[in-house]
Each structure stands twice: as structure tokens, then as C-alpha cells.
Structure 1
Amino acid sequence: MGKINIRIFTFLLLIRFACSIKAQSKLLGALESPIIFKGDNTTAFRDPAILFHENVFYLFFTLVKTEKGLIYSYTAFSTSYDLKNWSPIKIITPRDQSLDFCSPGNIIRYRNEWILCLQTYPRPNYTSEDKPRFGTNDARVFIMRSKNLIEWTKPEILKVKGPGIKAADMGRMIDPYLVEDKDVKGKWWCFFKQNGVSMSYSYNFENWTFVGSVQSGENVCVLVEQGQYTLVHSPANGIAIKRSSDLKNWVNWGSLITLGQNEWDWAKGRITAGAVLNLKKDNHFGKYLMFFHGSGPKSELEGGFDRNSSIGIAWSNDLLKWEWPGSIKYSH
């Protein structure tokens, strides 16, 4: 390549880089608040799961609603092109306190369909007059399928403890997350909260082999990059990270992430459920985006579990230092 062509090539690269930074700044810079969906005294938005497909963000989440004195949990979603304007919320699970499908983990592409993992969180006869109540021991993990990311099939239970264990004997399990093995194509792992985080694998989403557990918080999100697994999880408050190259040996990595909690009245009670999307290679962003939920001003046990819980957004270059709309500094 001649000197002139090299100069032209370099010039075009610089233009492309400048345009990508401008586009990124335009989208993220246009956000005036870190809150995507804000809860109120009868509504909570929790447990975000995010997919970026064909320049559209698909945000799935738990929608908790107080309806005529009864508290119901649903799985719902909304879409956006710019992270600022969101489509009307669509509920995709039934109104049933004995099931209360919620806590979507993530959405993956498998063969010619999309698969969303989620859980049940039964709270029969739960009313707004009751003290905060957590799901019963009948909580299990499920998947739903879709051809178009809009219409979804009925939930199917995942027998992640193996074909020889009846669903009634699997024990309480919540917060599933699906990820393909970094070394074996077609081998899928399901992470779920039970005795820390437990792990099972399958080649067809029907027959599962249970492997074991590792100490962890809840609402895990697992990224596969640079030959290792990065597990994002939630302890009592904040968001933490572990890393492993073999799913057996895990090391804690980085500091506890609490973002702007000290200044956010809406998240004073708890920050949790971080769902991280790697858009480092996307020209419009070039960053990790994290969606999470914050409860406040009361703690979850004080009443912030089923109301006044909001979904927020932050971003980072390295998973260590984070920024959000309106932030004037980075924070761990």
C-alpha cells in the first residue's frame, strides 16, 4: 500500500472513530437520569435482563403490581432504539400468585428461536397489608421460547437437577442464567441460585446434568470473554464480580459496585441485580452497559421489595469504574 493510500486509510479510520464517539455520546449523553423505569407506591421494576439485537434494546424485567390489594409478579418487557424512549410495557406471563413468573435471566439464540429463562416466585394470597414476603420453596426455573422476541410460548420447567429428580424434589431455586460453554459449542450451562450459585449443563435444554455449586450472591449474569467466565452477582447490597477459567475455581475480582447509591434516594435501600451487556465492539457505544434495580428510600425488608423499586443504567470501559447519566465522577 502506497504512502497516499495509507494516509487515506488512516484518515478514514479517524473519521470512523470520531463518528462512533459522537454517536455514542449522543445516545448516552442524551440520558438525563439513570432511571429507566421508576417504581411507585403500587409498582416495582426489578431484575432486568437485556438483549441488543438489530440495533434494538429488549429489556425484560420483573413487574410487581399491587392490584385491588393483592400483589402480583409478572415478567414483562419493553423495547428502545435510544435507551431514552421505551415502548409500552408488555406482560408475557399469567396473573397467578401461585406461580408469579418473574426474574428473567437472559435471552439467548438457540437454533431457530429465542429462549428466555425465568423463574416462579409463588406468594399465594399475598396482600399489600402483609409484611414483605419472599417466594415459597416451590420456586423453580423455567424457559420460554419465541420466534420474534414479541410472542412467547408457555413456560417450560427446567429439570436442572437431572432427569432422575422429580420437580417437587429439586428444592427452591431462583434467578436462572444461560450461557454457552466457552470451549464446547452446543453445550449450554444454566446457573441458578441454590446453595450459592449452582450449575447444570445440557445439549438440548431437556436433559440436564447437575455439576455443583459455588459461593455467590443472587441474580448472576455470566460473560464469556478473553478465555474466561466473568460472573456478575449481587450480595446483600451492591454488585460484585468473580472470574474463572474452568467454572470450578473462582476468584473475586474488582471492588463492590454501588454506583451513586449515596446520592440516590430511590436506591438507598439496595442496589442489586446487575445485568451487564458487552457492547465494547459496537461503534455506537464501545462500553459495557449495566442495567440494575434500586430500592428506596426504604430497604426491601422495610417495604421496598414490592414497591418503589426502579431499573437504572450505568456504563463502563473496564467493569471497574462506572459512569451514569448525571454523574460527575467515576465510582466503584
Structure 2
Amino acid sequence: MILKRIMHSLGMLLVFVANQGLAQQNFLTQLKSPIIFKGDEKTAYRDPAILFYDKKMYLFFTLVRTEEGKVYSYTAMSESKDLKKWSPIKIITPKDMSLDFCSPGNVIRYNNEWIICLQTYPRPNYLVNQMPKFGSGDARLYIMRSKDLEHWSTPEIMKVKGPEVSFKNMGRMIDPYLLADEQEPGKWWCFYKQNGVSISYSYDLRIWKFFGHTASGENACVLYENNEYILMHSPKNGIAIKKSTDLIHWEDWGNLITLGQQQWDWAKGRITGGVMVNLKKNKNFGKYVLFFHGSGPKTEEQGDFDKNASIGIAWSDDLIHWDWPNKH
């Protein structure tokens, strides 16, 4: 009887230890490849945006597909609990070449709903033999709303230059990113690509006021840590970082981030579109987690823009030294 109780207790202990190990596993080190979604001759995965919520990673991105000789862009999403198994890709924007909603920046929580910011990238009558074709001057910024991160509202334009500025006079703008002001609750910043990175602010996500701009690449991602703003952006190739304490004066910081590009044929053309989330305090990650997209082996100008673009992942403790699956 005593032996039976000992064996039972030992079994319970082993189950507890196993469960603890499962709960504390590092999802990053279990990955076998830096590629999350792999593009091909008819598909491109670009411009990732990340929301980590309720123990899930929600990945939003541009999905470009060649369909019957034409090229369409969509905003799509997928989710995962462990970074290995991802849900079926779901398109959340309409099929419309005159708009081509794409390049989601991030997702925020506002007034008991989720808000995603994104852009249009109009390329009317875009045929596959015209690759690459870049978006027109009518590219503008939008938001969409959701109660459940699954069903999304009709896009609403963001008049980030101010309500008095007409659609025509707003100018070409892409790659929005929203950030709550840490010192002034209720104030929101929008960073977007126009004249470098431009910055506007709002108290209701409807009426915006232009603030200023600074030299920068595209695909802005901004964190606020230790009383300073960390701006991650994409120059011609790679991912760079700038820092500021006041959103006015910016200084380049760190090294150009190109990760394993020299060894990755799938990213030889360009690494860009970086977005990071600080999960250093989460036991399953413990790092800054970076999502990005790589295109190749050709450059975007040579054609690997709307095809052969893939979403990848890397991570870091300090934004200087980076690791990724199968790093040698």
C-alpha cells in the first residue's frame, strides 16, 4: 500500500514537472526555420503587423496573389499559439485593384474595440507581365474596427494632415503605425511614410493634427521604452533604428539589421518591413521578437516584389545582436 502511494505520488510529480516544462518552453528556440510564410512565383507575403494578446500571436500582413493573369493585394491574417502552427490565412479586405488595401501597421485597443491601421496601394489593371508595378499617388491611410479580431468593418480614411486637407491634397502616404502617448492619456500618434516619416496626433482617431517629420525609411514601427521612442524603419535594404526623447530630434542608433541575408536566397533581394514586439517578460519568448519580410533571389526592381516575398522571424535581447532559427 505504501509503495503504491509512493508510485502514485511520483507519477503526479512527473506530470507536474512535464506540465511546468510545457508551460515554460521557449517557442522561439523550437522553430526550425526563420520563414513563417513562404512566397512563390504567384504569391508574396509582405509587411507583417503583430498583436500578442491572450497568449496568441496575431499576424496581419499584405497578401499579394496572381489570379488569372492579374495581381491583387489584400490585407490578411493568421494566428498561432506557438509560432509553429498557424491558422488558415483569412483575407479581411475587399478585392479591388483600385484600392488594394494592404501594409497593416499594427492593432491597438481603443474604446472597447480593436483598431487596425493600413493603407491603400492602388494599381488599377495590374497585369502579371507588368511586374513590378508600384502604387499610384492616391495611396492613403485607413483604419478598420473589430470586436473580436475576426470580423472587420469597412475601412475609414485617416485624414492625418487635418480635416481641412482634401483627399487630393493629402499626398501619397503609406505604412501607418499607431502609438499611445505615455505622458498624455487619450492622445494617439500616427507615424507614416511621407517626407521620411511624418507624425500626426489625435484624441479620438478621427480628427488629426500634423506634428512634423524626420528623415527615415518606410514601414515605421515605434516602441516607447525608458523615456524614449524607438523607431524601427526600413531604408533601401535592411532595417534601421532611430531614437528620440521628444519626437522632434532623432538620432540613428545601432547597426543596420540584415540578419542572415547573405545566406538566405529567399531574402537576397531585400530585407524590409520590420515590426517588433517586446516579449522579454513573457516566459515563452523572453526576447524582442521581430517579424519582417524578405524578397529574393531577385531584387524588387528585378521583379521579386509581388512574388517570392516571405515573412520571417528573428529575436534579440538588446536590438543589436540578433538570432533566428538554424543560425550558424
Structures share fold, TM-score greater than 0.5: yes
* Aligned residue number for residue 125 of structure 1: 125
> Can you list the C-alpha shifts for 1:31-86, whole angstroms capped at 9, x where unaligned?
11000000000000000000000000100000000000000000000000000110
Provide the rounded CA distance (Å) in 2 between the counterparts of 1:143 and 1:131: 28
* Aligned residue number for residue 66 of structure 2: 66
* Aligned residue number for residue 103 of structure 2: 103
Provide the rounded CA distance (Å) in 2 between the counterparts of 1:189 and 1:294: 28
Deviation at 1:281, TM superposition (A): 1.3
Deviation at 1:283, TM superposition (A): 1.8
> Can you list the C-alpha shifts for 1:157-196, whole angstroms capped at 9, x where unaligned?
0000001101121000000000011211110001110000
Moved more, 32-41 or 126-135: 126-135
* Aligned residue number for residue 176 of structure 1: 176
Provide the rounded CA distance (Å) in 2 between the counterparts of 1:184 and 1:244: 17
**Number of residues paired by the alignment?**
310
* Aligned residue number for residue 51 of structure 1: 51
Task: State how 1:246-325 maps to structure 2 within 5 Å.
Answer: 246-325=246-325
Provide the rounded CA distance (Å) in 2 between the counterparts of 1:20 and 1:228: 36
Deviation at 1:320, TM superposition (A): 0.6
Deviation at 1:96, TM superposition (A): 0.5
Q: Which amino acid aligns with 2:89?
A: I
Deviation at 1:29, TM superposition (A): 2.0
* Aligned residue number for residue 23 of structure 1: 24
On the 8 A contact 1:20/1:285 being kept in 2, the answer is no
Please, which runs of 5 or more residues in structure 2 have no aligned partner?
A: 1-16
Provide the rounded CA distance (Å) in 2 between the counterparts of 1:289 and 1:21: 20
Q: Which amino acid aligns with 1:23?
A: Q
> Can you list the C-alpha shifts for 1:132-173, whole angstroms capped at 9, x where unaligned?
111000000000000011100010000000011011210000
Alignment identity in percent? 65
On the 8 A contact 2:92/2:152 being kept in 1, the answer is yes
Provide the rounded CA distance (Å) in 2 between the counterparts of 1:212 and 1:224: 18
SS in 2 for 1:29: coil
* TM-score, length of structure 2 as denominator length: 0.93
Matched, 1:136 2:153: no
Question: What root-mean-square deviation, in Å, do the aligned CA atoms of Structure 1 and Structure 2 show?
Answer: 1.3
Q: Which amino acid aligns with 1:315?
A: W
Provide the rounded CA distance (Å) in 2 between the counterparts of 1:280 and 1:110: 24
On the 8 A contact 2:293/2:311 being kept in 1, the answer is yes
On the 8 A contact 2:230/2:243 being kept in 1, the answer is yes
Deviation at 1:131, TM superposition (A): 3.5
* TM-score, length of structure 1 as denominator length: 0.92
On the 8 A contact 1:23/1:285 being kept in 2, the answer is no
Provide the rounded CA distance (Å) in 1 between the counterparts of 2:163 and 2:313: 39
* Aligned residue number for residue 150 of structure 1: 150
Matched, 1:229 2:250: no
Off by >6 Å, runs of 4+ in structure 1: 19-22
Please, which runs of 5 or more residues in structure 1 have no aligned partner?
A: 1-15
